[in-house]
Amino acid sequence: MSFTVVIPARYGSTRLPGKPLLDIAGKPMVQRVWEQASRSAASRLVIATDDTRIRDVAQGFGAQVCMTSSEHPSGTDRLQQVAREMGWDDEQIVVNVQGDEPLIPPAVIDQVAANLATRPQAGMATLCEPLETLEELLNPNAVKVVADREGMALYFSRAPIPWPRDAFAQSREAMPSEGQWQRHIGIYAYRTRFLHQYVTWQPAPLELLESLEQLRALYNGERIHVAPAVQPVPGGVDTQQDLDAVCASLGAAG
């Protein structure tokens, strides 16, 4: 199996301007992500950016870079431009590794690519992990997913799904003892043909309501494979607190 990793890296960030270039234990964040992805089985890595500062830094540490439009509404659109400009064939598998996940395990990159490769009925694949606290179950920033017996996603939501009717009828003060809730992990594998199709669709009503772009695929009848991650996946860097924690972790490890 051959697959490509694309790392979208935008300079603009409301909470952390210039996020891909922020220093983490002596290296810019985008380099940390690239190095983790380099340890996967990917045959090719590309950093997709709309900023020349990120391009220059990335080329400086040896990465292949594709300049993309600053007008893309989502990372998926950015990936599609890369696939189009690189001329990848329709069956090429492309894994989207977010540019703010410097601790992403290489094993989950390989996993999501392999899951898609063995499931021709799916246009994309993603991962999940157990959700174990009431706080996270009720947190709209923790996206939940439910799947069928074949591992195909039925729905993604910011709401608690499935809803534990009987348990919550008695109390909403503690995590129900029965039930399996899964938090969606935002790593995706796509076939290039799916990317080309995706950008032709208008944003779906469900997508706009929940602010979840993967719902556009479900709304248009595409199947999304989802599986539990083979390793825990640390959260990405969205805040200064996240950045401090990652720096402390890598600083201690180094």
Q: Is pLDDT at 182 greater than 70 in this prediction? A: yes
Q: Determine what percent of the chain is predicted with pLDDT higher than 90.
A: 75
**More confident: 110 or 25:** 110
Q: Quote the pLDDT of residue 253.
A: 55
Q: Quote the pLDDT of residue 254.
A: 46
Strands 23-24, 27-28: pairing kind:
antiparallel
Phi, psi dihedral angles at 80 (to 5 degrees): -65, -40
The tens digit of pLDDT for each residue in 208-239 reads 999 999 999 999 999 999 999 999 998 888 88
**More confident: 175 or 153:** 153
The tens digit of pLDDT for each residue in 93-128 reads 999 999 899 999 999 999 999 999 999 999 999 999
**Distance, CA of 160 to chain centre:** 20
CA distance 95 to 13: 22
Query: Looking at the DSSP assignment, which residues form a beta bridge with residue 125?
Result: 189, 225
Q: Quote the pLDDT of residue 239.
A: 86
Q: Determine what percent of the chain is predicted with pLDDT higher than 70.
A: 98
Distance in Å from the first CA to the final CA of the chain: 33
CA distance 51 to 54: 6
Q: Which two tokens stand for residue 77?
A: 């659109």
Q: What topology does CATH give the domain 3-128+184-239?
A: Spore Coat Polysaccharide Biosynthesis Protein SpsA; Chain A (3.90.550)
Contact 126, 224 (CB under 8 A): yes
Q: How many Cβ atoms are within 10 Å of 88's Cβ, its own excluded?
A: 19
pTM of the model: 0.92
CA distance 197 to 216: 11
CA distance 64 to 7: 10
In order of 20, 33, 114, 223, the CA distances from 7 in angstroms are: 11, 8, 18, 23
**More confident: 164 or 155:** 155
Give the alpha-carbon dihedral of 202, 208, 212, 216, to 10 degrees. Answer: -30
Helix (H, G, I), strand (E, B) or coil at 124: strand
In order of 24, 73, 79, 131, the CA distances from 199 in angstroms are: 34, 10, 10, 31
State yes or no: cis peptide before 120, omega within 30 of 0: no
Instruction: Please provide the size of the chain in residues.
Output: 254
How big is the CA angle at 188 (ends 242 and 176), to the nearest 5 degrees?
Answer: 65
In this prediction, residues 25-30 reach a mean pLDDT of 93
